């Protein structure tokens, strides 16, 4: 058999998918591992998808996305995110992951370096590998509230550095970058002539405050930023696979070339449902965020009482638990917790070196599963700590 691509062979598999696959084999396992909202897609969105089928809107669309959707997204970006743009500068893709992949494909050439956060979502590391780029991890320590170490980040920049990727609200830490942090990152990117890819897939899921998280595009020359969003988390539409990005027209053109060769276009049904999500009632978003806030308080209380709390998340729907006292690594802890207690959480090592002694707990599961699952986690940790 001929050899496989060495680029993908060198890439690590997603640690999130690894534990999720194992959890599926455990009957009745409590799933606190993946970022999968337990809510159904709101009814008015689902009805719009059904209506698209009934009307025969089931054909190919423009790769960039149907115009009514992009027009609505331009209005949303200005209203919610404070970003004034045009439909021509917006591109839709198969989930936030598809848009991020298109952005990196448009910006990175083989040998280019990209600055990725540690801890950070692992998929961008895999993308970098198959693009022939080189990842360089900048540290976001828990002692600093998981905010980047600016001096360390800037010291990592070389003549080969091309892209700075940031993620706020952050997966896995729940950190939200305020105006001062974003302005500092924008200054670094500008001084060193870097592209910025801003993963804002949890933009409307704030666990403190109101509105949407601030965007780095408000603090820098917009032409050097690709801002990426998704319907998956905000509207509980993970299975619909719809994300979108906003960028300079030249960047969008390159992203469309990538998407046309990898997916042709997104499901037309999904796009019409997405339009209904954007222009329809938004109370569903507020209701889901309210539930995530309630679950954040439950998790903070339980983990603090057990001495496992790392920090209180301010956004997204995850919380980190420090399990070092168990004498196990985060990965060992996660897999033993699953096999012995029937609870699935994600090893911190899936997100980088800094979180190796931690696990990520998803707040997207039901209140009942969260209470029972965290109760078992704390019990397991306590038993291990006493050995």
Domain ranges of the chain: 6-40+283-385, 45-279
**Rg of the Cα trace of the chain?**
20
The residues, ordered by sequence, that sit 6+ positions from 261 with a Cβ below 8 Å of its Cβ are none
Locate 382 and state its tokens.
């306590």
Domains 6-40+283-385 and 45-279 share a fold: no
| Strand order across the beta sheet in which 346-347 lies | 318-322, 358-362, 346-347
Among the listed residues 188, 207, 385, the one whose alpha carbon sits nearest the alpha carbon of residue 298? 207
Q: Give the span between the Cα atoms of 278 and 3, in whole angstroms.
A: 46
Q: Give the span between the Cα atoms of 240 and 160, in whole angstroms.
A: 37
- The pLDDT tens digits along the chain (387 residues) read 898 988 888 887 888 999 999 999 999 999 999 999 999 999 999 999 999 999 999 999 999 999 999 999 999 999 999 999 999 999 999 999 999 999 999 999 999 999 999 999 999 999 999 999 999 999 999 999 999 999 999 999 999 999 999 999 999 999 999 999 999 999 999 999 999 999 999 999 999 888 899 999 999 999 999 999 999 999 999 999 999 999 999 999 999 999 999 999 999 999 999 999 999 999 999 999 999 999 999 999 999 999 999 999 999 999 999 999 999 999 999 999 999 999 999 999 999 999 999 999 999 999 999 999 999 999 999 999 877
pLDDT at 10: 84
pLDDT at 259: 98
Among the listed residues 202, 206, 265, the one whose alpha carbon sits nearest the alpha carbon of residue 238? 202
Among the listed residues 45, 1, 94, 6, the one whose alpha carbon sits nearest the alpha carbon of residue 235? 45
Helix (H) or strand (E) holding 259: helix 249-262
Q: What is the CATH number of domain 45-279?
A: 3.40.640.10
State which fold the 6-40+283-385 domain adopts: 3.90.1150
- CA-CA-CA-CA torsion sign (258, 56, 235, 21): negative
pLDDT digits (tens, 9 = 90+) for 154-190: 999 999 999 999 999 999 999 999 999 999 999 999 9
Q: Give the span between the Cα atoms of 48 and 276, in whole angstroms.
A: 6
The end-to-end CA distance of the chain, in Å, is: 50
pLDDT at 311: 95
């Amino acid at each position: 058999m001929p050899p496989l691509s060495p680029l993908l062979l060198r890439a690590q598999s997603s640690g999130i998918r690894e534990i999720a696959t194992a959890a599926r084999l455990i009957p009745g396992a409590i799933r606190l591992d993946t970022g999968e909202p337990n809510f159904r897609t709101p009814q008015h969105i689902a009805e719009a998808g059904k209506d698209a089928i009934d009307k025969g809107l089931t054909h190919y669309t423009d790769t960039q996305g149907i115009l009514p959707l992009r027009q609505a997204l331009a209005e949303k970006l200005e209203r919610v995110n404070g970003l004034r743009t045009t439909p021509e500068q917006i591109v839709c893709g198969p989930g936030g992951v598809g848009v991020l992949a298109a952005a990196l494909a448009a910006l990175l050439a083989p040998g280019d370096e990209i600055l990725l956060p540690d801890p950070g979502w692992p998929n961008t590391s895999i993308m970098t590998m198959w693009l022939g780029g080189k990842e360089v991890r900048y540290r976001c320590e828990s002692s600093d509230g998981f905010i980047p170490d600016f001096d360390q980040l800037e010291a990592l920049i070389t003549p080969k550095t091309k892209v700075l990727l940031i993620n706020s609200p952050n997966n896995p830490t729940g950190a939200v970058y305020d105006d001062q942090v974003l302005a500092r990152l924008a200054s670094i990117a500008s001084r060193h002539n870097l592209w910025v890819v801003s993963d804002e897939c949890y933009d409307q899921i704030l666990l403190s405050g109101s509105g949407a998280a601030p965007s780095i595009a408000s603090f820098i020359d917009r032409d050097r930023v690709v801002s990426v969003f998704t319907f998956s988390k905000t509207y509980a539409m993970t299975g619909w696979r719809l994300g979108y990005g906003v960028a300079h027209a030249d960047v969008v053109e390159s992203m469309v070339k990538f998407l046309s060769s990898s997916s042709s276009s997104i499901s037309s049904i999904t796009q019409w449902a997405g339009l209904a999500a954007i222009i329809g009632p938004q109370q569903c978003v507020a209701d889901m965020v309210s539930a995530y806030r309630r679950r954040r308080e439950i998790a903070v209380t339980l983990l603090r009482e057990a001495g496992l709390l790392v920090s209180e998340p301010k956004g997204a729907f995850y919380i980190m638990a420090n399990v070092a006292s168990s004498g196990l690594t985060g990965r060992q802890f996660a897999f033993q917790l699953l096999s012995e207690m029937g609870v699935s959480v994600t090893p911190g090592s899936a997100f980088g070196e800094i979180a190796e002694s931690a696990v990520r707990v998803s707040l997207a599961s039901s209140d009942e599963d969260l209470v029972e699952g965290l109760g078992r986690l704390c019990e397991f940790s306590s038993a291990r700590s006493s050995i």
